[in-house]
Chains A and B, each alone.
Chain A
Amino acid sequence: MTTEFSQDFFQLFGLSRRFALDSQQLEQSWRAAAAAVHPDRYASSPDAEKRMALMQATHVNEAYQTLKSPLRRGRYLLSLQGVDTQEETNTSMPLDFLMAQMEWRESIEEARDSSDVDALEALSSRLRSDKRALEAELGNALDSTADLDAAAVMVRKLRFLEKLDQEIGDAIETLLG
């Protein structure tokens, strides 16, 4: 089996180019593709084939990681349509979102300062449910209304939420340590 590098990641796994996807089907397709091109299958092949397998396996893993994460999937779908999400450059955010961010940060800091792992875990699960809601909105903007500008804003928001989640995770690890 060969992997077409010219295909987009959705085509690679035989999925339609939409935000909404069947994560089980994605996982299964990835496993099948990864099995076909994994370097272990080419351990006694010529070097050129080994190199090709390494490249293809890497590509398949990259495709899977991109589609698996809603944030990366959203960003990727936008880039396929020529929209740059400007996550590094565009920092203008709706005021209410920024306010909410500050509140999150304060809550995390408070929980961290009082070494309250349970509070951090609770914040994490609340944040994850916020994230899921935003992901649903993003899916709607991409798949139904095709409002790409709104979708780009949502990707930037999601990025903020992922960072917050990571901060919570780091704080929990610190406290456990």
Chain B
Amino acid sequence: MALLQIAEPGLSAAPHQHRLAVGIDLGTTNSLVATVRSGATTVLADEFGRSLLPSVVRYQDGGQVTVGYDAQREQNHDPHNTITSVKRFMGRGLSDIKDAGSLPYRFVDAPGMVQLHTVAGVKSPVEVSADILRALTQRAEASLGGELTGAVITVPAYFDDAQRQATKDAARLAGLTVLRLLNEPTAAAIAYGLDNGAEGTYVVYDLGGGTFDISILKLTRGVFEVLSTSGDSALGGDDFDHRVYCWILEQADLHGLSAQDTRLLLTRAREAKEALTEHSDTRITAILSDGNAVDLTLDQDTFRQITKTLVDKTLLPVRKALRDADISAVDVKGVVMVGGATRMPHIQKAVADFFGQPPLTNLDPDKVVALGAAIQANVLAGNKGEDEWLLLDVIPLSLGIETMGGLTEKIIPRNSTIPVARAQEFTTFKDGQTAMSIHVLQGERELVADCRSLAQFVLRGIPPMVAGAARIRITFQVDADGLLAVSAREMTSGVEASIEVKPSYGLSDDAISQMLSDSLAHVQDDIEARKLREAIVDADSLRDATLAALRIDGDLLTAEETSAIQLVLQQLEQATASHTTLQVNQATHRLNKATEDFAARRMDRNIQRALKGQKISEL
């Protein structure tokens, strides 16, 4: 494959000094670590030759921590202290976790990120993830015989800032140097593209244990350019297990199960799902803690029926990503399947039907992400290979700030190539305003309440000016990890405030998935709510303007005229409190009418003053 020649990069690795760098796929269900050794990319296995490390951590009394298969074995009889799928809780508040009630954990609703109560104390998802990363680091260092220089850790493309930050914090906690956070589908494309010498537009369909990601990439002469990404951060293989679990409860007429039994049946459900990849039906048996036995047979057809809505749900982000990339399904040269869940035959069929071609499955969907991350880590650590390539990734969700009336103003649209910075100017809303609160948001919805709140800070010391005179320039900078920094500056005075957007993790708003599905389902609500907010904003600024005019030029009115205007002002206040768009608009209209004459008189006076050489702006 022809590769782009790069002008002298700033890398300084001495020849023959190979730095130990790894790629880590920190997955919901399983995690892997891979590296490039003597030119070959390999997944590093444990002492028993196993590549996968189940993302399961068990905490015991006395502080002992077990990770992986050993922890997984204990999960059925120690469900409270054995944490699985912790990735789903990263950077999330309790209210974000929709199925918290059916999970066997004792959640602690901490401010910011949810925490888990275990016999070894309260653990945050960052700590649990750090324990998984430590186990992988130990495996890598034992296998490579030295200390690691750094690691590339993969995240779902659809992870927002809080989730990325939490992942980076987990690595720091585990003592790892993060060379880069890399989007999982992009990693898969690297592994795939470099192995296959691909050129053209490719779709990566990544259905992991807990997240679904879709990315569209254009591969041209060694440049991997991400055109768009979309996905659902709360949809994955676990949901298929859960459907089977619910089916078992229904078929066996079970109620009020203990945490142990829930865990046991979820495990059986997962086994059944996996068995159906190879077989047309499978038997599900379990002995519950009360001695009752479950004995059912699940066939392929039934499985397909009970999970059809989940499969359909993945196709929506696919359509969105195609639209954002401005291409259609026929332009796609190949579809790469990533994640163990894509082994399910009906998923492969749905994808084949949608794109009119069978998906590419020749790389192990469990390993492809780790392999790609390892290739990237090798380059970032300064071990230049013969081949050079460049990765141009994008930001998955729009970034914006709160403006008047609880609305979001988008500053960086989703799918902008990173690194990216955008500056926008805002102004003060009231005369003499000296401070301005900046609220940074991520999401696609119009209303602030429906987006994820990333940070809030106050810019103080704005010199008092009339409303609209101050110029506040807000700059958003997103780096190559997809992490955000925001700064604000008042242009006429130079007053500055800046913030590294750090874990405000979960100033707990809606979950990202909810944000997205809601933004589709509730656009109508948005429009109504937006109309009301706009009406109120208009009403408020008209009221303020009227009050200011009365103060300055009140002498132009008779006492009667003044009280007439005051009456309409009162009605406007009442209308605003009523929260009815129509009433607010009507009251605004009445106030406009009532002040028409007054406005004309003021205009005349201003002209007179101007003619006398006075500046209107001084009034």
Contacts and interface: CB of A to CB of B under 8 A. Distances in A.
A1 B8 contact: yes
A61 B417 contact: yes
B391 interface: yes
Interface of A: 1, 31-32, 34-36, 38-45, 49, 53-54, 57-58, 61-62, 64-65, 169-170, 172-174, 176-177
* Top 9 A-B residue pairs of the complex, sorted by shortest distance between their CB atoms: A177-B520, A41-B9, A43-B380, A39-B480, A42-B10, A45-B10, A35-B390, A36-B7, A58-B421
Looking at A41, A44, A174, A176, the one whose CB has the most chain B CB atoms below 10 A away is: A44
Interface stretch (B139-147, B197-205, B316-324, B570-578): B316-324
B4 A176 contact: no
A34 B520 contact: no
Contact of A40 (B12, B13, B391): B391
A62 B418 CA distance: 10
B6 A57 contact: no
Nearest to A64: B417
A165 to B, nearest CB: 11
Interface in B5-39: 6-13, 19
Given A31-B4, A45-B12, 10 more contacts: A34-B390, A36-B7, A38-B392, A44-B19, A45-B11, A58-B419, A65-B417, A176-B316, A177-B517, A177-B521
Given A1-B8, A35-B6, A39-B479, A62 B392 contact: no
Contacts of A31: 4, 220, 223, 225, 390, 392
A110 to B, nearest CB: 16
Given A44-B12, A177-B520, A62 B420 contact: yes
A45 B480 CA distance: 15
27 contacts: A32-B7, A34-B417, A35-B4, A36-B9, A38-B390, A39-B479, A40-B180, A40-B379, A40-B480, A41-B6, A41-B9, A41-B11, A42-B10, A44-B13, A44-B19, A44-B380, A44-B382, A45-B10, A54-B419, A54-B479, A58-B420, A58-B421, A61-B417, A62-B420, A170-B523, A174-B523, A176-B320
Given A169-B323, A173-B323, A176-B316, A41 B223 contact: no
A173 B322 CA distance: 11
A44 B381 contact: yes
B520 A176 contact: yes
A53 B11 CA distance: 12
Contact of A174 (B4, B7, B417, B520): B520
A173 B320 contact: yes
Contacts of A43: 11, 179-180, 380-382
Contacts of A176: 316, 319-320, 520
Nearest to A43: B380
Report whether over half of chain B's contact residues are helix, strand or loop; otherwise say mixed. Answer: mixed
Contacts of B523: 170, 174
B416 interface: yes
A85 to B, nearest CB: 15
A78 to B, nearest CB: 18
B477 interface: yes
Nearest to B417: A61
Interface residues of B, number: 41
Contacts of A173: 320, 323, 520
B566 to A, nearest CB: 32
Nearest to A175: B520
B4 A57 contact: no
Interface string B308-335: 0000000010011001000000000000
Contacts of B220: 31
B517 A57 contact: no
Interface in B495-531: 517, 520-521, 523
Contacts of A58: 419-421, 477
Nearest to A45: B10
A40 B12 CA distance: 13
Contacts of B19: 44
A42 B11 CA distance: 6
A39 B390 CA distance: 10
Interface in B207-264: 220, 223, 225
A40 B390 contact: yes
Nearest to B481: A39
B417 A1 contact: no
Given A40-B180, A172-B323, A177-B316, A57 B521 contact: no
Nearest to B517: A177
Contacts of B517: 177
B223 A42 contact: no
A165 B421 CA distance: 25
Contact of A38 (B382, B416, B477, B480): B480
B318 to A, nearest CB: 10
Contacts of B390: 31, 34-35, 38, 40
A57 B480 contact: yes
A62 B411 CA distance: 13
Interface string B444-478: 00000000000000000000000000000000010
A44 B11 contact: yes
Interface string B357-389: 000000000000000000010011110000000
B320 A34 contact: no
Contacts of B9: 36, 41-42
B4 A62 contact: no
A57 B9 CA distance: 13
Interface string B47-71: 0000000000000000000000000
A176 B323 CA distance: 11
A169 B516 CA distance: 15
A41 B10 contact: yes
Looking at A32, A34, A41, A43, the one whose CB has the most chain B CB atoms below 10 A away is: A43
Contact of B392 (A32, A34, A36): A34
Contacts of B380: 40, 43-44
Contacts of A35: 4, 6-7, 223, 390
A124 B479 CA distance: 34
Contacts of A39: 419, 479-480
Contacts of B480: 38-40, 54, 57
A34 B319 CA distance: 29
B422 to A, nearest CB: 8
A121 to B, nearest CB: 10
Interface in B403-419: 416-419
A1 to B, nearest CB: 5
A43 B319 CA distance: 35
A97 B9 CA distance: 51
A149 B474 CA distance: 30
A54 B483 CA distance: 12
Nearest to A42: B10
Contacts of B420: 58, 61-62
Contacts of A62: 420-422
